[in-house]
Amino acid sequence: MSLKNKLHVLKRKFRSSKYAPAFNALHTFLYLPDETTHGGTHIKVADDLKRTMNTVIMAMVPCLIFGMFNAGYQHHLATGAIDAVSGGFFSSEFWTLANFSIGFWKILPLVIVSYGVGLGIEFLFAIIKKHEVEEGYLVTGMLVPLIVPVDIPLWMLAVAVAFGVVIGKEVFGGTGMNILNPALTIRAFLFFAYPTWMSGDKVWVEGAVERANEIAAGANLDAISGETILGSLAQGKDFAYSTADMFLGFIPGSVGETSTLLILLGGLFLIFTKIGSWRIMLSSALGAIVMGLIFNQVADAGIIGEGSKFYGLMNTPFWHHLMIGGFAFGTVFMATDPVTASQTNKGKWIYGFLVGFISILIRVFNPAYPEGVMLAILLMNVFAPTIDHYVIQGNVKKRMKRLKAKVA
């Protein structure tokens, strides 16, 4: 008996048991089910939710791999083991096995914990609530390791994932029903519960926290640190990264957010495959540019002096904002989440613009934590239904007007 038939027999055996959703979830990863249409259309398109989610994951894989190299690169750079990159994107200092192995062994556990805990909870809820395991977490589980600092303790990540999946998603009814982006809910939980692990100049470089602890314990070692560009700007400090570094991604930051180039390619892939909304990505970039330009004007006009603590970020050329911090990553992979974004095409323009606009606003004015994308997207997630409501009211009003014209 072939594997296909064996599994089919097993599926029938499991059908009436409460573990059927768990079995089906695994079975459908191997085989597209034998389900046929009944009632309604007799044929269906080739796409399903698994394919859609898989496409998003494919777009993120380059960022993940780059993140692994970058984790090692930042570590070796901070310890002085290697020199800064000098040869563009394919610099030999960056793409080394030594860099990769540090990142790989550091980031793989993040991925495993993220998927293990998250999918575990999804399976549990599917069994309890007797529905199929939905694919939403496939993307969330990949996003999470990419938006946390590389040194985040695994238990914290596990706690945050559990919180995010249960409170951010399952209490609303699971995939498709949530108000807030689950991955950002997880990150926001980490940010508010363990702020020392989510900001500062130690967490972005592998080994920096450990080294600091050793020094505090009396070890005679050089401290290593790595401040993100945003952190430096917020404190009015200089940083040693060129525009090319920012664009290519040779800078400290959350695991997958640093390479604007690869994120851009991922975004173009999502637009080409029609999985990601180009309206949100484009309008979000526009929103950020507009806000950045406004701040540039304010700084140029001398309204805010060089002594002001906001000057550093306000004076940053507007287009740099698109490349530093998590802006690009958030815009391409998180603002475009169809469940939590606006659902009408017109609404997507407004939603995206405001995500970009507010990101830069928070980024500049938040003294404690110079990153606004996470909070901007979460805020706009909350307002997305309101935006849609007004867009749809336009259509409703048109209908009312037509009726009135008839009656009059």
Q: Name the site residues for other proteins (rule: CB under 8 A).
A: 4, 7-8, 24, 28-52, 54-55, 132, 134-136, 173-177, 272-275, 277, 338-339, 341, 343-345, 348, 388, 392, 395-396, 398-400, 402-403, 406
Nearer to other proteins, 177 or 303 (CB): 177
Q: Which residue from 190, 186, 184, 202 is spatially nearest to 335, judged by alpha carbons?
A: 184
Nearer to other proteins, 13 or 274 (CB): 274
Q: At its nearest, how many Å lie between other proteins and the CB of residue 12? A: 13
| Nearer Cβ to other proteins (260/342) | 342
Q: In the complex, what is the shortest distance from the CB of residue 204 to other proteins, in angstroms, rounded to a whole number?
A: 33
Shortest CB 384 distance to other proteins, Å: 11
| Cα within 13 Å of Cα(142), Cβ side | 20
Q: Which amino acid is present at 211?
A: R
Q: Which two tokens stand for residue 129?
A: 């609530």
Considering the complex, state which of residue 119 and residue 148 has its C-beta at the smaller distance from other proteins.
119
CA–CA gap between residue 302 and residue 214 (Å, rounded): 45
How far apart are CB 165 and other proteins at their closest, in Å?
A: 16
Distance CA 91, CA 95 (A): 7
Q: How far is the CB of 127 from other proteins (least distance, A)?
A: 16
Q: Could you tell me the CA-to-CA distances from 164 to 136, 158, 161, 280, 339 in Å, in that order?
A: 13, 10, 5, 24, 15
Within 10 Å of residue 4's Cβ, how many Cβ atoms?
11
Amino acid at 107: I
- Spatial separation of the C-alpha atoms in residues 41 and 230, rounded to whole Å: 52
Q: Which residues are CB-neighbours of 174 under 8 A, at least 6 positions away?
A: 125, 129, 131, 134, 136
**Minimum Å distance from CB 399 to other proteins?**
6
Burial of 300 (0-12, 13-18, 19+ CB in 10 A): exposed
**Minimum separation from the CB atom of position 284 to other proteins (A):** 16
Give least dist CB 130 to other proteins, A.
14
H-helix or E-strand spanning residue 271? helix 260-272
Instruction: Classify the C-alpha dihedral 169-175-181-184 as positive or negative.
Output: positive
Least distance between other proteins and beta carbon 393 (Å): 9
Q: Of 273 and 315, which has the nearer Cβ to other proteins? A: 273
**Residue type (1 letter), 256:** G
For residues 328-352, one letter each, b for 16 or more C-beta atoms within 10 angstroms of the residue's C-beta and e for the rest, the string is bbbbbbbbbbebbbbbbebbbbbbb
CB 344 within 8 A of CB 388: yes
The CA-based angle 301-294-383, given to 5 degrees, is: 150
- Which CB sits closer to other proteins, 2 or 86? 2
